[in-house]
Amino acid sequence: MAKYQTLLYYCYATIANAEQFAADHLKFCKSLNLVGRIIVADEGLNGTVSGTAEACKAYMDAIYADGRFNSTEFKIDDVDEPSFIKMHCRYKSEIVHSGLRDPNIIDPKKRTGIHLEPKEFMEMKDREDVVILDVRSNYEHSLGKFKNAITLDIENFRDFPAMINQLAQYKDKKILTYCTGGIKCEKASALLLHEGFPEVYQLHGGIIKYGKEAGGKDFEGQCYVFDNRVAVEVNSVNPVIISKCYNCGKTTAKMINCANPECNEHFTQCDDCGDVMDGCCSDACKEHPRKRPYDGTGYYVKVPQQVNLNKKAKVEFLEELRPVSC
C-alpha cells in the first residue's frame, strides 16, 4: 500500500483578506509536513498537495471544517513518494489565470456549464449533435486528449477568450468542455454561455476523475499534471499513445521541460533523444551556459532568475516553473 497521497482540488469561494489567508494557510500546511503548490485568490483556492495519508486526511478535514469550502472535491492519488519537494502557498489575482476578472461577465459561483459526471460525459460525448472541447494548453493536449476532441492553439489558458470567434461555427452544437481537474472549465464554460452558446456542459472533476470513475475510455495518451510526476495514465480500457518526440518524431509518452531554464519549454522527447540532446529541445539550449543537469526525468525545481523589470509579463511565468492548475 502506498505511503503517500497527492490531492488535486479547487474551490470557487469568496475569501476575505485572501493575502493573509495564504500566509496562514502556508504555515498550516507546513505544520502537517505537506508539500505542494496552492494558489489563493479572492475568488477561492486551487491546489495540489502531497504527504502522508494521515496528513492528507487532516488537510481535507480542515478544508471541510471551513464552511466556505464545503463544495471542494478532492481527487486523491496514492503515490510512492511525495509529488513535490517544497510547500508553496501564494496569493494571486485569480486561482487560474484567465484575465476574466469582471464578475458581471464571469462568476463561476453563479453560472457555469452543466456539470456532467464521468459516466454521463462518456454516454454523451459521441452523439452527432455534440462537440468535445479541450480548453487546455498546447503542451497538455499534445500529450493526451479525448478522441475526436477539438483542441485550441493556445500557450496558456489566458489565451482562451481570444479563441471564442473560432468556435462560433459550433454554436448549433452541444459543447462538452473538459480539462485536467475541472477548474478551467468553470470559467471557459461560463464565457461560452456569456458569448451566446446555448448548450454548454463540462466534465465534472476533469480528466482525472474520468479516469477513476469511467476507466478513461477514449482518452488517448496521458494526462499532463502539474507536479513532478509530469504525466499520469488515465485510460485502462482502450489506451493508445498519441504524442510524438519533438526531435525525431518517434511515438513517445514522455513529457519534459527543456533543461535550459531560460527556455523551459514543455515538450515530448523520447529517451534516445533525451540522451543525445541532454534533455534540451535544441542545440542552442544544449549549449546554453545555464543548462541544468539532465537526470532523465525532465523535472526541475525552481531556479532563481534575474527579473527584467521592463518585462513584467514574464514575472509570473518565472515565479514558478510549473504553475498549479486543475
Query: Annotated catalytic sites, by residue?
Result: 179
Query: From residue 202, how far is each of 10, 41, 97 by CA, in Å?
Result: 15, 23, 19
Is-contact 113 157, C-beta < 8 A? no
Q: Amino acid letter at 225?
A: V
C-alpha cell at 210: 474520468
Contacts 24+ apart (CB under 8 A), 269-278: 269/245, 269/298, 270/245, 271/296, 272/248, 273/245, 273/246, 273/247, 273/248, 274/298, 276/247, 277/247
C-alpha–C-alpha distance, residues 90 and 22, integer Å: 6
C-alpha–C-alpha distance, residues 25 and 281, integer Å: 37
Can you name the residues that pair with 232 across neighbouring β-strands?
223
Residues 6+ apart with CB under 8 A from 36: 6, 7, 29, 47, 48, 49, 50, 83, 84, 87, 88, 227
- Give how far the C-alpha of residue 168 lies from the chain's centroid of Cα atoms, to the nearest Å: 25
**DSSP per position, 86-104:** SEEEEE-S-SS--S---TT
First CA to last CA distance, the chain: 26
Tally of CA atoms within 13 A in the half-sphere of 166 that contains its CB: 11
C-alpha–C-alpha distance, residues 54 and 49, integer Å: 13
